[in-house]
Amino acid sequence: MQQNGKQKQLLIIDDEDNMRHMLSSLLSRHGYQIENAADGLEGIALLRKKEFEFVLCDIRMPRMDGMAFLREARDIEHSATIIMMSAYGTVDAAIKAMKLGAYDYISKPFKADEILLVLKKAEERERLKKENDSLRRQLAGLKKECGFGRMVGKSKIMQDMFSLAAKVAQHTTTVLITGESGTGKELVARGIHDSSPRSAGPFVAVNCGGIPENLLESEFFGYKKGAFTGADRNKKGLFAEANGGTLFLDEIGELPLLLQVKLLRVLQEGEIRPIGSSGVEKIDVRIIAATAKNLAGEVEAGRFREDLFYRLNVVHVTVPPLRERKEDIPLLCDCFLKKYNIRLQSGVQGISPAALRRLIDYTWPGNVRELENTMERTMIFSEKKIILPEDLPHRLAGIKQERRLDDFFHTFSLKKAQKQLERSLILRTLEATGGNKSKAAGLLEISYPSLLKKIKDYSLPQANLPVK
């Protein structure tokens, strides 16, 4: 067996000369480069000196048996796949060997085909492991190049934002994230938490505008049993729940002035006082706040405390609206296609150039959230493998409603209408596949020669349709 022209290294450990000779003769004929050891001690010495892809190791041997070899091998840096052999095979022995790190177990005596099959399975395992490692490296590289946390973006404005967020993540600094609704402010906050030394701690998110004002204090700071009517137990507040981690205060601009004062004290003193408590509790919480409002304007209007604004605004991260980073729309669409193909079990394979142009040209007042919702809706109702302009919502596709069939075909003749429809459908399919005739023939469910004939019969333009 060879990989990229190189023979695979295999170590045979067995105290029987005949067994070593038989296996060496057999496996060398099948392309393995063989090394031999008479017991576990010799095997460990060779494993320390040389890199092996596979090890065939007997269980019963003098000086160091197979189980002891497995234990010792765990302390050595190696990537070998170990297969155990024994003439005294039992299920218990096999399970014990697997727990100690063996990949497989084969009982003696065995036929040549059996040992070759076991090695073939082991090779397939190694191949899959390497492929998975390669894919993980590629994904990590892609994430590093195009993303931060769960966000993606290749545009310079997003790359600059990712860089700032990654830098601030390494510190406990308070962060203020601003941006329009739907831009992904919470995703930025999660990315900062996940990239920080606090990533093992809790990430607690709360919408400050979503809690009734009379419950805000108890929700944030908790309360002691008996503090008020109905307080029949102690309750931890959001600050206590986030202790050792991050508290994300979304829509911070909605926080009432009275609670703004108490939040400022928490930031200054690092302590909270639950309702009904006679003492304070120290907390270690990183605060990340977010808002779609102009907080500086809210300060001028007297609706937000200036001292709290400056305490929160130590590092300011601005998430740009989607209309300012339109070059990211194809990348986002591809991510949503993959996501909803899995979730919806959809067969949609891509987006036609014309449909993608509509998506790029749209202003997206709801930003990335609106784009994601649009992609999900389109994939639910699409009956084609490629999203076409008419599959998009009416605000993007620009389809006129309530038109009669004769308005489209300009004829009452079925034969003429059929030809017009066929010609139009072929043109749309060629557009959807970027001019790839082989793919178009597949989508149209006709043969490739039939498609070429129809292109000729209908005098369809050839200049910008590459032959494939």
Q: What are the residue ranges of CATH 3.40.50.2300 in the chain?
A: 2-134
Rounded CA separation 152/83 (Å): 43
- Which of the four CATH numbers 3.90.1690, 1.10.1740, 3.40.50, 1.10.10 does domain 405-457 have? 1.10.10
User: What's 156-320's CATH class?
Assistant: alpha beta
User: What's 324-397's CATH class?
Assistant: mainly alpha
Q: Which of 367, 278, 260, 379 has its CA nearest to residue 324?
A: 367
Q: What are the residue ranges of CATH 3.40.50.300 in the chain?
A: 156-320
Q: What are the residue ranges of CATH 1.10.8.60 in the chain?
A: 324-397
What topology does CATH give the domain 2-134? Rossmann fold (3.40.50)
What is the predicted pLDDT for the residue at 137? 59
Residues of the chain with pLDDT under 70: 1-6, 89, 132-147, 397-412, 461-468
| Measured distance between the N- and C-terminal CA atoms of the chain, rounded to whole angstroms | 38
Q: Which of 205, 239, 207, 234 has its CA nearest to residue 221?
A: 239
